[in-house]
Structure 1
């Protein structure tokens, strides 16, 4: 599988972001000085550089500003195919802003947080749209704009060798069942983000985080870039990445970086799972022990029951052979062994 992370930062060291990225997925992280957005008829637009992302067909962007100021955003992507740039395609708006409606285009299909090109691309460019009255505070704070680009046709093979001696990151467990009963089965994403905020000592009111991450137009709590935006509002950097294989994930865990993993499975596919089956769910990977992966599963009935041990071969199948998406969240000044 071809997969990599591109990005641009301001006020956050590009070297730090690179050091927090699995080596096999490192591409280009550029640090710039003051942002130079431009005013448009519908908000303020900050555009990243052109990235030579050859052969990729799938893209997942994210943006985080390290400020507690509430703000809205929309991520927009353009790709070059056959020497010509496509019009800009827009993802879901995060926050209450009513940006000008995006026009669907032939070159790129958009499914909430995933952009899919109809043909392998030669290059891509990413931009974030902000409200004019909020842009100065947002872009005056440290921020990062990233793009996970991948070609998912090749599936990961089995992990090589044993995982001993093992790693365990002490992420405080939470259960989504602590939320209101009417939504408890739907809030795995805010629950996982809350676990990582607890771990990085940015505790949050659970109910407030759930409300912040809810997308009323889509009736969803699990829009992927909303997790990175929410972490940024608590002073944490982060990115979304299509993980290519288990060694890339194990590398993050060995650096002390927990991973929020997007999984889906049918009955009997994940032994010992908190839910018998799910069309889409998030868990926090916290390490491994031998051939078992350690995780906090928010679908558990209580926080005390959230810690789980899943077989590596099964987790690879329900995570890496399917969505494969992971969220990595970390302090922007964290010294990392991967540097």
Structure 2
């Protein structure tokens, strides 16, 4: 059982029975998804507060909203001790957002900078259609570096309407919530100029446990983006203190491939602590930069996008309803990192026989609509580029992680209009 599965099992024991999320490690064993009747409706809504106008709509306490960012004000809301140090604090709370359906899962993500001794805490609370409001649940304590604060999530917190499973907020079965608020607490240590929060958002969803019928080829067909190819397996045994070593680093390796595509990898001085001659040292750096001390892994979805956003300026976690939506991003020149899970014989041509959770990069499509990927589980760079059957890929992606995807872009690649609900 993987660490993400263990967290989910704990919630399931408390009757939070929604479709299981996939982990983000390239294991070679895992059961195939249980077959249940197909249901076509896939409710997904992504909403963000990432502009001056949207951030100004929130409730600010001890923070300032200027030039599209939130910072601790000269007069903070107060002070707090953490790990023996004193921090000035401020807080920003979003307006209530109603996705338009009774959502059962939510994944938040953010864009922030944390210079010096500073960090942020992201929390969520929900509201039923009848007006009952849940408690605030902490989704992540995050800093870009690890010198001052251990980046972590806190699974559990299942005290009322929902609970936390690593990076996913899960609602009681058959309930569904009508709305939510996000809250970010900014903590500034002595001598720090941060933190600075540029954006905060969440994808809310209510999904069936199985994929719909295979989507028809469409946008992006015949397009393959020139994304560099990195193998996680060449890092096997490296730095096991960060999630078990390179063989488990499918998520930071995929994130690094996308950063390489945008020419946004960290500079050499950032990974100068890695020995000379190390292959693709930026992958080791990314593993350290995405490591979740609470989950004990590098596969935390929003921790990966938060790291990527420090390099490109824009990144978030969402869920897509099918490969046609992914094709809209490919068409716009934006690769898509996808979280999949599959059993033996269920993904022809994969470099591993099975996985109960794996991240790879969708880089394009053949003219017939099959999926061209950079799969980091290949033993070497030359085997990273693969083509997967469209139907098999959707069955490995949609019922397991719910179509979870990292969307990373830079200023030269705007989001495609109408690519998914809420944008």
Which TM-score applies when normalising by structure 1? 0.85
Q: Secondary structure at the match of 2:195?
A: helix
Mapping of residues 73-152 of structure 1, within 5 Å: 73-81=120-128, 82-95=130-143, 96=149, 104-118=158-172, 119-133=175-189, 137-139=194-196, 143-152=198-207
Between 1:123-132 and 1:262-271, the stretch displaced more is 123-132
In 2, the alpha carbon distance for the partners of 1:306 and 1:274 equals: 8
Instruction: Please say if 1:250 is aligned against 2:250.
Output: no
In 2, the alpha carbon distance for the partners of 1:152 and 1:13 equals: 28
Q: Which residue number in structure 1 is paired with residue 97 of structure 2?
A: 51
How far apart are 1:203 and its partner, in Å?
A: 1.8
Mapping of residues 255-266 of structure 1, within 5 Å: 255-266=332-343
Q: Closer, same or farther in 2 for the Cα pair 1:11/1:333, shift >3 Å?
A: farther
Q: Secondary structure at the match of 1:211?
A: helix
Check the 8 A contact 1:69/1:233 in 2, yes or no: no
Q: Deviations over 1:116-163 (max 9, x none)?
A: 122211211111233233985232x6x111100110127433212577
In 2, the alpha carbon distance for the partners of 1:313 and 1:39 equals: 52
Instruction: Please say if 1:329 is aligned against 2:408.
Output: yes
In 2, the alpha carbon distance for the partners of 1:304 and 1:137 equals: 42
Q: Which of 263, 267, 277 is equivalent to 1:201?
A: 263
Q: Which of 283, 295, 308 is equivalent to 2:386?
A: 308
Q: Which residue number in structure 2 is paired with residue 64 of structure 1?
A: 111
In 2, the alpha carbon distance for the partners of 1:12 and 1:234 equals: 24
Q: Secondary structure at the match of 1:338?
A: coil
Check the 8 A contact 1:264/1:280 in 2, yes or no: yes
Check the 8 A contact 1:51/1:125 in 2, yes or no: yes
How far apart are 1:332 and its partner, in Å?
A: 3.4
How far apart are 1:34 and its partner, in Å?
A: 5.4
Q: Deviations over 1:270-302 (max 9, x none)?
A: 000011111100000001001320000000001
Q: Give ranges in structure 1 of 5+ residues lacking alignment.
A: 15-30
Instruction: Please say if 1:35 is aligned against 2:70.
Output: yes
In 2, the alpha carbon distance for the partners of 1:48 and 1:114 equals: 19
Mapping of residues 251-290 of structure 1, within 5 Å: 251-289=328-366, 290=368
Check the 8 A contact 1:66/1:236 in 2, yes or no: no
Which TM-score applies when normalising by structure 2? 0.69
In 1, the alpha carbon distance for the partners of 2:194 and 2:139 equals: 22
In 1, the alpha carbon distance for the partners of 2:46 and 2:153 equals: 29
Q: Which residue number in structure 2 is paired with residue 187 of structure 1?
A: 249
Q: Which residue number in structure 2 is paired with residue 27 of structure 1?
A: none
Check the 8 A contact 1:2/1:150 in 2, yes or no: yes
Cα RMSD (Å) of the superposition? 3.0
Q: Give ranges in structure 2 of 5+ residues lacking alignment.
A: 1-41, 56-65, 81-88, 144-148, 267-281, 419-423
Q: Closer, same or farther in 2 for the Cα pair 1:216/1:122, shift >3 Å?
A: closer
